[in-house]
Structure 1
Amino acid sequence: MIDPQNVELDAMIEAEKKQVAFEYHNEAWADGMSDGIEADILAETAISTALTELVRLHGEEKVVAMVDSLRQRLQHGEFRPERNLH
């Protein structure tokens, strides 16, 4: 039987890790911008690095499915700057 308290705790830990990762990415992004690297270069490099790591961890099929999901979310406006809650 799954303990709901453990599931809730795991979700809280994951949310905290995501927040810390978001802060790390923002700091790296700001450092790159201050060094004169254009935002589109930073973005493309971040996506390429992430996809390479995800393929290494999960294989191409799962990453293709993830990219398809991201495409749908993008088409529905999830990544528009005015929707950014951070």
Structure 2
Amino acid sequence: MEHSISDIDAMVREEKRLTAVESHNEAWAEGLSAGIEPEIIAEAALETAFCEMLRNNGETAALALLDRMREKVIGGAFEPHRLRH
């Protein structure tokens, strides 16, 4: 079975996403074990993410990410039974 370049790119992107999720899960667990409240960890993670987006891709990309995340929240994508880790 041959894969197109776009298929390969999609597989690489998904592998990177899964690696990032794993890294974030480990950092989250470390924060919790250090006694940091989940809300504080979440806010710090979002601030870091948006600072990086702004620095690397500019305001338009950061705002687009914010819009996509907002739509996911509204659509229920982050409800516990729907998470894909």
For the aligned residue pairs, the C-alpha RMSD in angstroms reads 1.2
- SS of the residue corresponding to residue 77 of structure 2 reads coil
Give ranges in structure 2 of 5+ residues lacking alignment. none
Structure 1 stretch 45-54 or stretch 56-65: which is displaced more? 56-65
- SS of the residue corresponding to residue 37 of structure 1 reads coil
Matches within 5 A, 1:1-86: 5-86=4-85
- SS of the residue corresponding to residue 35 of structure 2 reads coil
Q: Tell me, in whole angstroms, the C-alpha distance in 2 between the residues paired with 1:65 and 1:74.
A: 14
Q: 1:65 deviation in Å?
A: 2.1
Q: 1:76 deviation in Å?
A: 1.5
Q: 1:44 deviation in Å?
A: 0.3
Q: 1:64 deviation in Å?
A: 1.1
Q: Tell me, in whole angstroms, the C-alpha distance in 2 between the residues paired with 1:65 and 1:18.
A: 18
Amino acid at match of 2:78: F
Q: Tell me, in whole angstroms, the C-alpha distance in 2 between the residues paired with 1:70 and 1:85.
A: 15
Please list every run of at least 4 consecutive aligned residues from structure 1 whose deviation after the TM superposition is greater than 6 angstroms: none
TM-score normalised to structure 2 length: 0.88
Q: 1:56 deviation in Å?
A: 0.5
Amino acid at match of 1:61: T
Q: 1:73 deviation in Å?
A: 1.8
Aligned pair count reads 83
- SS of the residue corresponding to residue 77 of structure 1 reads coil
